[in-house]
Structure 1
Amino acid sequence: MAERLLYPLLFALILGQLQTNALASVSLDGKVVQGGLLAGQAPPGSEVTIDGEPIKVSADGRFLIAFGRDDTASRNLAVTLPDGDQWQRRLRPDEREFDIQHIDGLPDEQVTPPDDVLERIRNEAALARRARERSDERTEWVEGFNWPTIGRITGVYGSQRILNGNPRAPHWGIDIAAPTGTPVKAPAAGIVTLTHDMYFSGLTIFLDHGHGLISSFLHLSEILVEEGQRIEQGELIGKVGATGRATGPHLDWRISLGDVRVDPALLLDWDKNPHADSP
């Protein structure tokens, strides 16, 4: 009689421990903050949703979540495990203060592009949108990000200028000042999805790290890669310049997940850039 009672109890304890271990195997790495990027790991075969909408999960259970500059609302992250159990967490990004500059009295030509380049700007914006639509299961962001070049930080994510009372788009990356011709290396492995000479950003490279996570490198003096090329972390891809609408040589490095712009500064080891102050 005692043995018949003991076996179901042991089975329930073992099953409970297995379920607890499975739930504990869901992990998040990164900062829940405006401009932040979270890398998640769940058991293979799990399904992941944000506010009920499914997001991409790789075969080994990895996924990404991004928070935009102005995100303030809580979001519900739900992971359905292969056995049907569910892991949930509410994610509310911490708010940040961004530098806002008001500049008045500028000539109109310095605020609004001339009519003869508006079609070019629209076409280039469409090229960038199409490049950001790619999303596959590669997870080359797993190894983390290195500095693409070393130098003084002259521009930060989220800052914004209001010119003659008209708000401009926020700055979406970090500006790293360096002499023209300074090497620019891939901060993480990826596939080149766009190389183009653009009106605003000059010589530009898009590097896709998988899951729709894309690095873009702006104002280059040279592009040393081709579209479709596979690039390893640390490989030379271009050189610092001042092409496009730039006031001096620097690299403007940006990262987006789909249409959400995230802050590259949050992904870096600041001790590895002796010319930069930690944010």
Structure 2
Amino acid sequence: MLKALLSAAVLLVTSGAVIAAEMQSFDAVKVRGELTQGALLIGETAPGNQVALDGKALDVDSQGRFVLGFGRDAKLQHQLTVTRVNGDVISNTLTLTPREYRIERVDGVPQRTVTPDPKQVARARKEAGWVWQARQQVLPREDFLTPIVAPAKGRISGYYGSQRVLNGDPKRPHYGQDIAAPEGSTVVAPWSGEVTFANDDLFYSGGTIIIAHGHGVNTTYLHLSEVSVKVGQTVEQGQPIGKVGATGRATGPHLDWRVNWGQVRLDPALLPKLYP
């Protein structure tokens, strides 16, 4: 077990060393973070410039800051376009480093475990709609500019991008990071933010909280035994928000926590690389 909340410099490392954040310069724009699948990046351009990723406009603040992110299986080349105040358009190619993920193949699993009951599927789909809606919210905040702290103490027991193949049937990849901890252990907000979803009984994830941090960046906390916050509540970094549990479809007590940029699922283990 970890003896304390990890600092931003070493937080959430699954393998290898976390390097200090460095700005990478392109024409008319800079980005900070690792150019790889699953990464969240913070960008900067001159105030007043417009920025688009693969043709989709990004939210640029008055100081020229913006964020962007790439999913687990994102293509390896992307166009980051900057339109200056004078109308000049500059296009940059971002090339991502591909990643390999843990794949576990398990045969001989009872079919009822592989294929859920139709009623359970219907319930889960309805609840997924609630979560999708919560992640659509873009709030005028920039909490992610503050170096992150760990949401719980514990051993890393599950990794972003890993996947199980049950009886030859590939299941949905794991989009979070699992922290094994005793039931009832405190879960805190890794950044400040506003609670956009709180429910103590979802089918798959049990006690669930979503916190928005601005520019579409949000974090999610699953399998909680206690939900201590309400929708609309503002929380401060390090504030307790719930307790570790084994609710939903969890097989043992742990915190499964996730990071999204809108609907793009990102790797929590890469977040420390955002900060110098």
- Structures share fold, TM-score greater than 0.5: yes
RMSD: 1.6
Correspondence list, 1:229-244, <5 A = 229-244=233-248
Q: 1:55 Cα shift? A: 1.4
2:139 touches 2:212 (CA, 8 Å); kept in 1? no
CA contact under 8 A between 2:225 and 2:244: conserved in structure 1? Answer: yes
2:122 is aligned with 1:124: no
1: CA distance, partners of 2:141 / 2:51: 17
Aligned-partner Cα distance in 2 for 1:260–1:115 = 27
The one of 251, 258, 269 aligned to 2:255: 251
3-state SS in 2 of match to 1:121? helix
Question: Shift in Å at residue 87 of structure 1?
Answer: 4.4
Matched residue type, 1:180:
E
Q: CA deviation at 1:42?
A: 1.7
1:59-98, aligned counterparts within 5 Å? Answer: 59-98=62-101
Size of the aligned set, in residue pairs, is 247
Q: Does 1:186 align with 2:185?
A: no
TM-score of the superposed pair, with normalisation by structure 2: 0.85
Does the CA-based 8 Å contact 2:188-2:237 persist in structure 1?
Answer: yes
Structure 1 length as normaliser, TM-score? 0.84
Structure 2: how far apart are the matches of 1:250 and 1:244? 12
Amino acid at match of 2:66: F
Q: Deviations over 1:165-224 (max 9, x none)?
A: 111110001100111111111011111001112111110000011111110000111011
Shift of 1:25: 7.1
Cα distance in structure 1, aligned partners of 2:63 and 2:245: 39
Distance in 1 between the 2:56 and 2:119 partners?
42
Matching of residues 194-213 of structure 1 within 5 Å:
194-196=197-199, 197-213=201-217
> Which residue of 215, 220, 227 corresponds with 2:231?
227
Answer yes or no: is the 8 Å Cα contact 1:215–1:254 preserved in 2: yes
User: Mind listing any 5+ residue stretches in structure 2 that lack a counterpart?
Assistant: 1-25
1:116 Cα deviation from its structure 2 partner? 2.6
Amino acid at match of 1:192: V
Aligned residue identity for 1:223:
V
Contact persistence 1:178–1:251 (CA under 8 A): yes
Residues 1-279 of structure 1: pairs in structure 2 closer than 5 A = 26-196=29-199, 197-268=201-272
Q: Distance in 2 between matches of 1:157 and 1:232?
A: 26
CA contact (8 A) 1:186 1:233 kept: yes
Partner amino acid for 1:101? E
Letter in 1 for 2:135: R
Secondary structure of 1:131's counterpart equals: helix
Higher RCO, Cα 8 Å, sep 6+ = 2
- Compared CA separation, residues 24 and 166, structure 1 to 2 (3 A): closer
Runs of 4+ in 1 over 6 A off after TM superposition: none
Checking the alignment, whether the CA contact within 8 Å between 1:213 and 1:256 is kept in structure 2 is: yes
- Letter matched to residue 34 of structure 1: Q
Kept in 2, the 8 Å contact 1:57–1:137? The answer is no
C-alpha distance in 1 between matches for 2:204 and 2:62: 38
- Give the 3-state SS of the residue equivalent to 1:116 in structure 2: helix
Gaps of 5+ in 1: 1-22, 270-279
CA shift, 1:85, in A, is 4.2
CA apart distance, 1:73: 3.2
| Bigger radius of gyration | 1
Instruction: Report the residue type matching 2:53 in the other structure.
Output: I
